[in-house]
Amino acid sequence: MRMLRASMTLGVISAVGLLATLPDRKLTKEFLESEIKDVEYNRLGGTITHCTIHTKSGFTFTGESACVNPNNFDPKIGEQVAYDNAFEKMWLPYGFWLHKAMLEFSNLNVCNAQCECDNDESLSGMVKDWQIPNDTTFDFGTAVEALKQGARVAREGWNGKGMFLSLVKGRDADYHVNSRIFGTGEDGNSEKQMPILDAIYMKTADNKLVPWLASQTDLLSEDWQIVEQHNGRN
């Protein structure tokens, strides 16, 4: 039952990520193109062109083109037709993915996930209170979504006691950075203030807060997990 709740909750988070990317709930050519990692072409039999589209998820789509008359064969046209045929195949599975995400987001109410739909707001902030069991691990993309929702995350493989990441909102540091450090906006003129962007910070094992950058290992690891919070402290 616990693993089922975890799976369903991760489904909600995945749905939020997709719907945040597509707030109009409509697939676009631009979105599909953004999912492409690289494209590979191969020539078969002289006038047959084979195209393989590799997506960021690791899935592939293929398309072919053929020229009847070798004298009329144009490699560029062959590649374009093969690519168009491969790209056309992306619409159906991604359409299914979007439809499934919409159903998950509208129907699921598990693990205290509360969804509030507002056409004028980004869907990335729609999950207000969600929980993932502590023994559930996930990838870095899900960890980022969790950070955006205010959760603390850490890798299971980190050896330091009490280490975790948290997203620090720029607005929380705005006055200190602008007024005290750079001396901007001291006269109350907001136009002089520089916008402070959100940043991920790490709470270290020796109780220090430092800006954090992900390593290649962190990006590719799937041992991320939620860190419990008790009265604002771990």
The CA-based dihedral angle spanning residues 106, 110, 112, 113, taken in that order and rounded to the nearest 10 degrees: -30
CA distance linking residue 99 with residue 48, whole number of Å = 35
pLDDT at 49 over 80: yes
- The three-point CA angle 138-5-148 to 5° equals 45
Residues 6+ apart with CB under 8 A from 108: 8, 11, 12
Q: Model confidence over 96-142: pLDDT tens digits?
A: 888 877 776 655 433 334 434 443 343 334 333 444 555 678 888 88
Is 113:12 a contact under the CB 8 Å cutoff?
yes
pLDDT at 64 over 90: yes
pLDDT at 227 over 80: yes
Angle between helices 2-21 and 140-148 (to 10 degrees): 80
- Return the amino acid letter for 78: G
pLDDT at 73 over 80: yes
CA distance linking residue 137 with residue 154, whole number of Å = 10
pLDDT at 75: 93
Distance of CA 125 to the CA centre of its chain: 13
| DSSP helix/strand/coil, 229 | coil
What are the structural domains, with CATH classification, of the chain? 36-89 (3.30.160.240), 137-234 (no CATH)
| DSSP helix/strand/coil, 233 | strand
Q: Model confidence over 152-189: pLDDT tens digits?
A: 899 988 887 889 999 988 776 665 665 665 665 555 55
Q: Model confidence over 3-20: pLDDT tens digits?
A: 333 343 444 445 666 766
CA distance linking residue 79 with residue 60, whole number of Å = 16
pLDDT at 194 over 90: no
Q: Model confidence over 199-226: pLDDT tens digits?
A: 899 999 988 889 899 999 999 888 888 8
pTM of the predicted model as reported, rounded to 2 decimal places: 0.45
Strand partners, 49: 43, 65
More confident residue, 122 or 60: 60
